[in-house]
């Protein structure tokens, strides 16, 4: 039986976004404060995902061996380093989060059966790489506060209460929503970027956070006048709103995840048929039992 295992590691390093063939004005226009000398630093968190068959001891790999490989090939070399000068790969292509994830994959692939590299630059920005040439994923997280009421305008209060419980109360209730938006695209061989990070953040802020923050969704967002603003429907709405702005910055929207509370979240993909996992037999049986 195949199983995916994950190993966490961390390192601290600094870097600078600066291309010597560009003028100072061009660098600051493209990279903002990240172009400032001598650079800036992060506490990076790395997740290495590997796949394999379970052996007679119930393991895919010996995690002690995995730990030593990651330390030897990655963390011992990058910890407390200036990334631009540490590895040759970062001298030709800037050490962005997405490019770093790709290079880490390349350096670990000869030793480990990789399926994914996930690298967090900080808790609100991370990249994923799955071995697909120059294609990578970049995620930013943000938040907004909003109120809503779960009630169909076509049903009575009693009917809505039967479906939505307390969430159907007439004056609504609020959440501090946590939003994760993932894009995918080709890593630029010089800048190391999938897309301009500032433009990505601005697209999410301008089209989602600002219009939805501190609103009563049912009343203030026209889309929800006749659509019940469940977490699922809000995620679908955000996905549809962001498709075009993300295309305009040169990337493709991949996934939207909306966390309504620590207990509830919903995620939708830009191409559902391609991205959603299929149910295995056990999951299908559990779903069928739950619906009875």
Q: pLDDT tens for residues 147-190?
A: 999 999 999 999 999 999 999 999 999 999 999 999 999 999 99
Q: What's the total number of domains in the chain?
A: 2
**Stretch (H or E) spanning 13:** strand 2-15
Interior angle at CA 100, CA 95 and CA 101, nearest 5: 160
Active-site residue, from 42, 167, 186, 267 = 167
Report the C-alpha gap between 116 and 129 in whole angstroms: 6
Determine the 3-state secondary structure of 275 from DSSP.
Answer: helix
Determine the 3-state secondary structure of 220 from DSSP.
Answer: helix
Residue 15 falls in the annotated catalytic set: no
- Quick check: 152 and 228 in contact, CB under 8 A? yes
Residue 260 lies in a domain: yes
Q: What is the pLDDT of residues 118-158, one digit of tens each?
A: 999 999 999 999 999 999 999 999 999 999 999 999 999 99
Residue 99 falls in the annotated catalytic set: no
Choosing from 94, 111, 131, the residue where a domain stops is: 131
- Quick check: 6 and 70 in contact, CB under 8 A? no
pLDDT at 56: 86
Q: What is the pLDDT of residues 221-269, one digit of tens each?
A: 999 999 999 999 999 999 999 999 999 999 999 999 999 999 999 999 9
Choosing from 77, 108, 131, the residue where a domain stops is: 131
Active-site residue, from 40, 122, 143, 214 = 214
CATH number at 43 reads 3.30.479.10
The residues, ordered by sequence, that sit 6+ positions from 282 with a Cβ below 8 Å of its Cβ are: none
| Burial call 102-130: b when 16+ CB within 10 Å, e when fewer | bbbbebbeeebebebbbbbbeeebbbbbb
Q: Which of 85, 76, 96, 83 is nearest to 30 (CA)?
A: 96
Report the C-alpha gap between 14 and 44 in whole angstroms: 10
Report the C-alpha gap between 276 and 278 in whole angstroms: 7
Q: Do 105 and 219 belong to one domain?
A: no
pTM to 2 decimals? 0.89
Choosing from 131, 160, 176, the residue where a domain stops is: 131
Report the C-alpha gap between 103 and 89 in whole angstroms: 7
Residue 167 falls in the annotated catalytic set: yes
- Quick check: 39 and 82 in contact, CB under 8 A? yes
Give the domain range for residue 93: 1-131
> Does 283 or 12 have the greater pLDDT score?
12
Active-site residue, from 98, 121, 180, 260 = 260
């Amino acid at each position: 039986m195949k199983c995916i295992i994950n190993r966490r590691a961390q390192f601290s390093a600094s870097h600078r976004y600066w291309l010597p063939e560009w003028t100072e004005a061009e660098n600051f226009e493209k990279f903002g404060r990240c172009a400032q000398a001598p650079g800036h630093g992060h506490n990076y968190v790395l997740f290495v995902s590997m796949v394999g068959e379970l052996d007679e001891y119930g393991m895919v790999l010996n995690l002690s061996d995995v730990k030593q490989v990651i330390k030897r090939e990655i963390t011992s070399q990058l910890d407390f380093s200036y990334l631009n000068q540490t590895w040759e790969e970062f001298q030709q292509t800037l050490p962005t989060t997405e490019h770093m994830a790709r290079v880490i994959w390349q350096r670990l692939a000869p030793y480990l059966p990789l399926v994914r590299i996930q690298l967090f630059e900080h808790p609100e920005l991370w990249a994923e790489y799955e071995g697909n040439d120059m294609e990578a994923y970049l995620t930013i997280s943000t938040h907004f506060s909003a109120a809503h009421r779960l009630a169909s305008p076509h049903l009575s209060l009693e009917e809505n209460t039967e479906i939505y419980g307390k969430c159907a109360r007439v004056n609504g209730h609020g959440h501090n929503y946590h939003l994760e938006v993932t894009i995918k695209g080709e890593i630029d061989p010089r800048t190391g970027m999938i897309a301009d990070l500032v433009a990505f953040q601005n697209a999410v802020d301008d089209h989602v956070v600002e219009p939805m923050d501190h609103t009563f969704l049912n009343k203030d967002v026209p889309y929800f006048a006749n659509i019940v603003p469940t977490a699922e429907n809000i995620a679908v709405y955000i996905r549809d709103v962001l498709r075009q702005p993300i295309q305009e910055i040169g990337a493709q929207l991949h996934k939207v995840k909306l966390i309504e509370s620590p207990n509830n979240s919903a995620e939708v993909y830009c191409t559902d048929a391609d991205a959603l996992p299929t149910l295995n037999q056990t999951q299908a049986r559990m779903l069928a039992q739950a619906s009875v």
